Structure 1
Amino acid sequence: MLYPAPQDKDFPWWLVALGVLALIAVWRMASDPIYQQLVVTLQRGVGITVFVTLVGFTMASLMGMGLALMSLSRSLVLRQIARFYIEIVRGVPIIVLLLYVAFVFAPAIVAGYNWVAEVLGGEAIRTRDFPLLWRAIIALAVGYSAFIAEVFRAGLQSVDVGQLEAADALGLSRWNRFRHIVFPQAIRTILPPLGNDFVAMVKDSSLVSVLGVLDVTQLGKVIAASNFRYFETYNVVALIYLTMTVGLSLLLRRLEVYLRQGERR
């Protein structure tokens, strides 16, 4: 029988304190024209931040699932390739990956494309035609795919071996065994840490500002450099990220409670 963790019984005083601070911030922004202007201006970057996070996380999840399946494959070659990729990528900081993909990988891709285009008689492209926004998204996807691969691998391995033996006894193919037996049970283990990685990517999406992508952080840097209102500007930037991350964290808490209740049933 699973018992609730002690912190699950605590009254969320931290949330009350956060709510009070949020009310003070909203009141200040509603009564101060400087804050009002900052909010209106920075809202343009929220769409870029959300787009980068959603597309990057989707790509990272697909890559992570593929890597997890490779790491659990019966083929030694596939297992070693997956482990090589995961260990290398996890050992490199996200910002270094961002710069590497933007200024090394992307030009190499363009050069390879131009070589193929020259052979086939197509039209060559320039490196600047590869948008910085997509370079940033690819870098985040590459960086997070290694961590998400470990989440998927642990979740898939958490399924009881007896379930797999029963599926084999029923004569299910590997695909049907994965689709009907393994994945539905593993997803309960996978979802909470996967959600944590999603929240982390929301925050790490701010790193795309080093490439000049006009997300919330980059717009904040531009505005602060022009009006020297660093205190007010970064207050709004921090509030925007807090609103997104705390909201997602609360949803994840509810999801974890729901999954635990499902396990008890």
Structure 2
Amino acid sequence: MTPAREPVSPPVALSIAGSDSGGGAGIQADLKAMTAHGVFGTSVVTATTAQNTRGVRDVHAVPSGHVASQCDAVFDDFDVSAVKTGMLATAETVETVTGLVAAVEAPIVVDPVMVAASGDRLLSPEAETAYEGLIEAATLVTPNADEAEVLVDAPVEAPADAERAGRELVAVGADAALIKGGHLGDGERVTDTLVVGGEEGEATALRFENPRVATEATHGSGCALSSAVAARLARGEPLREAVAAAVDGMGPAIRRGYDVGEGPGAVNPTAFDGGA
């Protein structure tokens, strides 16, 4: 007897990001994290990269018109419950994506991918300046300390600086900002700072502290974290709860990271605690 189908109808999320040929970050990490959280991930590729665990060798941006065509195809067929943006590569693509997501009635998580964990630059200077419009459309923007410095044009070297940067990004128009603390804090703990805008303009700040995992295998950590938040938002979780759960889940994702390649390795987006 032929088995009967038992289809499932998970929430749908969209990642608009670059492809990592090494599989540890970008679209590849995003889709793994979304699947781990019980969400069906769709994708729009903004650039292809020639990279591995040791670094980025080459970046090829996809024409912005094709980025728009990919987005149109996804939105035309799927009920997208959350959108996550990652590496956008060029100013034209940033502007194209800004126009597309501004019309979407779903949470928008903006991960302003500018620098790889290896230190390689992934965004043109012109594109960095084009981010203001996308930040205005964001439900949440998730820069690390280095990216926050670029966005607010001020040093981010301590949790107090992170809170100040988060408040500036909320003032620009984002509903909330999560300043990732992997580059901040002491050697024992990581402090992530969430700033949430208020209805009357008064933003509030929350800090999440977790033990620092002693490893260099953090490739893809920012992608996995922002995608986990987007997946949780797609499932209908409130913003603060979604961020808190995703931040806490990064510990297992890093501890159980992939020991692959000849470089430091990559985080494991399927190891999030409390995913699906």
Verify same fold: TM over 0.5. Answer: no
Q: What TM-score results when the alignment is normalised by the length of structure 2? A: 0.24
Larger Rg: 1
Q: Which has the higher contact order (CA 8 A, sep 6+)?
A: 1
Q: What TM-score results when the alignment is normalised by the length of structure 1? A: 0.24
Bigger proportion of residues as strand: 2
